[in-house]
A = this chain, B = another copy of it.
Amino acid sequence: MNIETAQYLASYGIKPSVQRLAVMKYLLLNPVHPTAEHIYEALLPSMPTLSRTTVYNTLSLLAERGAILRLDLDPRQAHFDGNPAPHTHYVCTRCGAIFDAALQDLPPGSSPEGFTVSSTEVVHKGICKNCNRSH
């Protein structure tokens, strides 16, 4: 598993380290779009010397190289997604739950002239099943 993760990182030109592997592995195994703080707290028990700064640095590096996505789903803090393939997100504005869905092919948009698109994010906000039920 570590070897696989190391290969995955290598495919994005990222040198492995204990911390980088842990963060990447956490994102792959927990597809809940966690925040930096969430990841830090989850890893701390098994890596007591881990620093918050390392988590932030690592997430920035991973996102920069395209191994993960940094999602602006929430004005308060960034969420991260171990699946770098573009896809659609459904965000419950009541409980904060985040659901994935396949990204439908968007109709060709009329981008501003000369604009080169590098990534596309589609976010649907609303109320999830659970929150709908408990009116």
Contact = CB atoms under 8 A, between A and B. Distances in A.
B114 A132 contact: yes
A125 B115 contact: no
Interface in A76-118: 77-78, 88, 90, 92-93, 99, 101-102, 104-118
B116 A125 contact: no
A127 interface: yes
Interface stretch (A6-14, A26-34, A37-45, A66-74): A66-74
Contacts of A88: 109
A75 interface: yes
A105 B115 CA distance: 21
Contact of A109 (B93, B121, B124): B124
A49 interface: no
Given A72-B74, A101-B109, A90 B117 contact: yes
Interface of A: 70, 72-75, 77-78, 88, 90, 92-93, 99, 101-102, 104-130, 132-133
